[in-house]
Amino acid sequence: MTELVFTECRIGIQSRSWLKTAATYSEPGPGVTRVLGSAEHRALLPVLADWYREAGADAVWLDDAGNLVGRWEGSLLDARTLLIGSHQDTVRQGGAYDGIMGVLLPLAVLSEINRSGRRPATAVELVAFCDEEGTRFASTLIGSSAIAGNFNRDLLAVTDSDGVTLADALRALGSNPDQIDRVARQPEQVSGYVEVHIEQGPILEAENLPVGVVTAITGIERHRLTITGKAGHAGTTPMHLRKDALVRAARAVLVVDELCHSTDDLVGVVGQLDVTPGAVNVIPAEVTMSIELRSPDSAIRRRARLDLMERLAGALDGSGCQWKVETTYEQNEVRCAESVQWALAQAVEDAGYPVRRLFSGAGHDGLAMAHLTNIGMLFMRCKDGLSHHPDESVTTEDLEASGQVIRRFIESWPG
Ligand SMILES: [Zn+2]
């Protein structure tokens, strides 16, 4: 396979310049903090709209869910619309690429296509979703679920830490949340959804690849394990008479880790541990801990759950401690459509790169968009696999490589 050399790097250079400017629309402090409806979000919108127009958009509008949308007509009059997008918001003290790169890179591609004077067959709408991270309100995927037609209107009354409702935050942007239902698209008018996003993991960098084609967005389940033993004086209770809940919990942590090491396409973590009473000289009476499992394949995840219960029973039964597991959260994986994966893989090959398929261990707007249409994602290599961190970084060459892939994808998409 010959690697094409893109000497001009116009897409890479243009997108980097926009990304640098967009990163300045942030609360003060390390990294980038830009949450839904904030002053920074409000200030970025007209700038973004100007960039859309500079890139030749035929129409630009803010929808009633706070999403900024640009539309580029295709050459086919009755073509369905290809939706491309990502989120404008960030976590607190996040990086300059998670989310907004998936808006500004395709924008640079659309600008190049516009300059060439050759319209692709398909109409394209580029969407900067108002919120994916859920940093301000206790809800994620607000913009994409509204477009996908599965937004829960009860969320409009949810308040942030200052008591401001989501509805008021959307009004402050210039949207009308009373009409949020009108944002929903009709499935027959849409031909697919594609998102380009930094990998947020180390695989592409380790394999020296600029891009990867996403197969699925991971499924997640979370459980709360409670282990109940007996408190006692840490000096006077002999070791063999103790019911130490924390010692059992330590074994349970190892069980989770060993299970995930021994199963392909499964990752898991114990991220929270509460010890009661939590005193230096008291035998721990009760421990609650979180257990999270993720897999792109629900069959693997469900088998792993059964395996986990057996292993926990092996580690905890007969220890003198009681234990119970409650499931607190479960979300199935979302598969990327074969048709979109295939078209992306073809575009990667046409741009001169090997095709690497990988699954996304993080959630994305595609989770919501899959309710509307076929979805696909292109991952881009990021430095040290780092994300949700001020030091997020990508190279101009990788922006160009991803741009070349997205350009080929758009130009070959049937509409
Ligand atoms: Zn993201």
Are residues 282 and 208 part of one domain?
A: no
Burial status of residue 177 (CB atoms within 10 A of its CB: 0-12, 13-18, 19 or more): buried
Tell me, in angstroms, the distance from the centre of ligand 1 to residue 98's CA: 5
User: Do both 306 and 383 map to the same domain?
Assistant: no
Residue 1: predicted pLDDT: 46
Residues 254 and 271 in one domain: yes
For ligand 1, the distance from its centroid to the CA atom of residue 365, given in whole angstroms, is: 8
Which CATH number belongs to the domain containing residue 71 in this structure? 3.40.630.10
Note whether 264 and 391 are same-domain residues.
no
Ligand 1 center to 406 CA (angstroms): 18
Q: Assess if residue 4 is contained within a domain.
A: no
Q: Which two structure tokens, joined as six digits, stand for 394?
A: 């990508």
Q: Which residues surround ligand 1, an ion (CB under 5 A)?
A: 98-99
On whether both 126 and 206 belong to a single domain, the answer is yes
- For residues 402 and 324, membership in a common domain is answered with no
Of the three residues 331, 351, 384, the one that is the final residue of a domain is 331
Give the structural domain span for 352.
Answer: 10-217+333-412
- The answer to whether 199 is a known ligand-binding residue is no
**78 in a known ligand binding site:** no
244 appears as a binding residue in the annotation: no
The reply, when asked if residue 197 is annotated as ligand binding, is yes
* In a shared domain, residues 239 and 249: yes
Fill in the DSSP letter of residue 243: B
Give yes or no: residues 233 and 176 share one domain: no
Cα 133 to ligand 1 centroid, rounded to whole Å: 7
Cα of 323 from ligand 1 centre, angstroms: 37
CATH of the domain at 235: 3.30.70.360
Distance 136 CA to ligand 1 centre (A): 15
201 C-alpha to ligand 1 centroid (Å): 12
Q: Which of 331, 361, 382 is the last residue of a domain?
A: 331
How many angstroms separate the alpha carbon of residue 215 from the centre of ligand 1?
17
Residue 62 falls within a domain, yes or no? Answer: yes
The response to whether 222 counts as a known ligand-binding position is: yes
Separation of alpha carbons 368 and 32, rounded Å: 25
Query: Domain check: are 70 and 113 in the same one?
Result: yes
Asked whether residue 27 is marked as a ligand-binding residue, the answer is: no
Q: Is 388 annotated as a binding residue?
A: yes
Report the 10 Å Cβ neighbour count for 141: 23
- Written as tens digits, the pLDDT of the chain (415 aa) is 445 555 689 999 999 999 999 999 999 999 999 999 999 999 999 999 999 999 999 999 999 999 999 999 999 988 899 999 999 999 999 999 999 999 999 999 999 999 999 999 999 999 999 999 999 997 889 999 999 999 999 999 999 999 999 999 999 999 999 999 999 999 999 999 999 999 999 999 999 999 999 999 999 999 999 999 999 999 999 999 999 999 999 999 999 999 999 999 999 999 999 999 999 999 999 999 999 999 999 999 999 999 999 999 999 999 999 999 999 989 899 999 999 999 999 999 999 999 999 999 999 999 999 999 999 999 999 999 999 999 999 999 999 999 999 999 999 999 7
Query: 150 CA distance to ligand 1 centroid (A)?
Result: 20
pLDDT value at residue 6: 57
Same domain, 253 and 210: no
Residue 5 within a domain: no
Give yes or no for a contact between 205 and 392, defined as CB atoms under 8 angstroms apart.
no
d(Cα 260, Cα 308) in Å, to the nearest integer? 9
β-pair type (68-72, 59-62): antiparallel
From the CA of 121, how far away is ligand 1's center (Å)? 29
Pairing of strands 286-295, 267-269: antiparallel
User: Distance, CA 209 to ligand 1 centroid (Å)?
Assistant: 20
Q: Which helix (H) or strand (E) holds 330?
A: strand 322-331
- Cα 147 to ligand 1 centre (Å): 17
Shared domain check, 116 and 82: yes
From ligand 1's centre to the CA of 91, what distance in Å? 9
Statement to judge: residues 248 and 172 lie in one domain: no
Is the residue at 1 inside a domain? no
34 is in an annotated binding site: no
Q: Do the Cβ atoms of 334 and 365 come closer than 8 Å?
A: no
What per-residue confidence (pLDDT) applies to 313? Answer: 97
